[in-house]
């Protein structure tokens, strides 16, 4: 399942995607779904199997613009944290 780390800052999103890749987690920048209700328009996409590692990496850096993690399903997107 596809997961999205949603940020309010484009720069912090790009930094986080780089951090994920540096730690062996395949990630991409993608458009933030409108359900997120944030303005930057870019999120970090990754596979759900990496969720525990992604959460650990989020704790290592003070991302002030982090809004939460969304799960993308066939029914739409919703926040899981």
**Which domains are delineated in the chain?**
2-79 (3.30.70)
**Confidence at residue 76, expressed as pLDDT on a 0 to 100 scale:** 84
pLDDT digits (tens, 9 = 90+) for 34-79: 887 776 678 999 999 999 999 999 999 989 999 999 998 888 888 9
**Sequence-ordered list of residues with C-beta below 8 angstroms from that of 17, at least 6 positions apart, any chain:** 27, 28, 29, 44
| Cα separation, 69 vs 47, whole angstroms | 12
pTM: 0.90
Residue 60 CB: number of other CB atoms within 10 A? Answer: 9
């Amino acid at each position: 399942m596809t997961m999205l780390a949603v940020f309010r800052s484009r720069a912090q999103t790009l930094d986080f995607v780089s951090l994920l890749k540096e730690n062996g987690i395949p990630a991409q920048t993608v458009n933030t779904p409108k359900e997120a209700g944030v303005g930057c328009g870019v999120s970090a996409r990754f596979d759900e199997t990496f969720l525990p590692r992604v959460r650990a990496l989020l704790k290592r850096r003070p991302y002030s613009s982090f809004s939460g993690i969304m799960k993308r399903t066939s029914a739409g997107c919703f926040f899981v944290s």
